[in-house]
Structure 1
Amino acid sequence: MSAQDLPYVEVNPTTTAKATVIWLHGLGDSGNGFAPIVPELKMPEELAVRFIFPHAPVRPVTINNGMEMRAWYDIKSMDFSSRADRTGVNESADLVEALIEKEIAQGIPADKIILAGFSQGGVIALHLGTRYPHKLAGIMSLSSYMCEPETLTAEAHSANKDTSIFVAHGQHDDVVPMFMGNAAFKTLESNGYPASWREYPMQHNVCVPELNDISTWLQTQLS
């Protein structure tokens, strides 16, 4: 697969972009799902942030009776320890890395690029962000978890050891229970990452207080 195989929705600033947020959707959604939240983030114009919302490839998903849908990887079982299909995670991480490289080629430095994701997308953001060989501006994981956390120590690249990681979850999430998100946060913390944890009284979604916190964090990382 090559970069053009990953189509995306793009929301551009009014001036030439100086920074990019690549935001990955959850299972069965598309890049269109999160694009409408950009105005709600109220990013200052002078930061000139471009938002990219890629569409995951369409694939059969085992837990949904093999139904084809947009998914960053297959989910073979609801067992927490093996929920993410590592082969699919690696393939999608490669596709998203190609998108990052495309932004760098267009003049956005890696340290002005934030990798973000919700649910399945957060799995890819955490997986790729910690292994990516160039310093990113930040990594964000919302209502998500970590693929094979036990492999992080051996596979992590030192480039993003000091990169801020925003981890957030809903207290009433019945799709990805909050303990899974918190376990990812604790794995990051024990590996020395400057990760922050936030939880909100919500289900498997985003809420206004969370969007406000995300906006503050994005502005801090990109200023």
Structure 2
Amino acid sequence: MSFPQLKVLIPTAPIRPYTPLGGQRSHVWFDRLQISPDVPEDLTTIDSMAQELSVLVNKEVEQGIPLNRIIVGGFSMGGAMAMHLAYRSLPQLCGVFALSSFLNHNSSVYEALQTKTTQEIPPLLMCHGDQDGLVSDEWGSQTANILRKLGVDVQFHIIKDAEHELTKRELLQLMDWINEKLPPLSELST
């Protein structure tokens, strides 16, 4: 991907015990009881991670990048974490992307969005493989539909014949979406 007008940061999730792996340590953004939208969220680990990621974003703001020129996103759990960060902590962001991601049915993101105006809600790009055996595309679709009802401008794309993976097709869609949301500053002044 080429984004000459952008600075791209790719943080790695910390190593922590992960309940779906029997408590084994793994690189995960937060813990969950199981990989399912039917369980409660572990807000303790989600909120602590949101604080750490907010510090990362705020360092960029301190270096002169306004929040409305910052997009957050991720793959799988990283996409869910990005939605928590944007819709609960940093609604002034330019946008959010979530690839092969979902939110739990009673997500605190949904609760937070009920109190916001559409001007305070960043747009969302979601892509999901139709053959994903770990995170059902139905879960992603349900998340997108609920977020739309709560005022989020959601683009949801099913990626045909894709599993729980990143594909060239969705990365090209992501690149186009980012370039649309964050055109070079020279294009903004013309």
Q: What TM-score, normalized by structure 2, do the two folds share?
A: 0.87
Q: What CA distance in whole angstroms lies between the structure 2 residues aligned with 1:203 and 1:127?
A: 24
Deviation of 1:166 after TM superposition, in Å, equals: 0.3
Q: Does 1:132 align with 2:89?
A: yes
Give how far 1:75 is off. 2.6
Distance apart, 1:81 and its partner CA: 1.4
Alignment match, 2:148: 189
1:109 aligned to which of 66, 74, 84: 66
Residues 64-103 of structure 1: matches in 2 within 5 Å? 64-82=21-39, 84-103=41-60
Q: Once the two structures are aligned, what percentage of the paired residues are identical? A: 26
Tell me the equivalent position of 1:17.
none
Residue in 1 aligned with 2:180? 220
Measured against aligned partners, the alpha-carbon deviations of 1:90-118 in whole angstroms (never above 9, x if no partner) come to 11111111111111011111011001111
Q: Distance in 2 between matches of 1:112 and 1:191?
A: 23
Q: RMSD of aligned C-alpha atoms? A: 1.9
Q: Find the counterpart in structure 1 of residue 111 from structure 2.
A: 154
Is the alpha carbon distance of 1:175 and 1:196 closer, same or farther for their aligned partners in structure 2, counting shifts above 3 Å? same
Aligned partner of 1:180 among 139, 145, 148 = 139
2:135 and 2:119 map into 1 onto residues whose CA distance is 26
Query: Quick one: distance in 2 between partners of 1:193 and 1:119?
Result: 19
Q: Secondary structure at the match of 1:53?
A: coil
Q: Do structure 1's residue 141 and structure 2's residue 98 form an aligned pair?
A: yes
Greater percentage in strand: 1
Unaligned runs of 5+ in 2: 184-190
Count of aligned positions = 180
Go from structure 1 to structure 2 and tell me whether the alpha carbon gap of 1:213 and 1:189 turns closer, same or farther (over 3 Å shift): same
The separation in 2 between residues aligned to 1:92 and 1:148, in whole angstroms, is: 20
Question: Which consecutive residues of structure 1, in runs of 5 or more, have no partner in the other structure?
Answer: 1-40
Contact map agreement 1:133 1:158 (CA 8 A) in 2: no
* Counterpart residue number, 1:163: 122
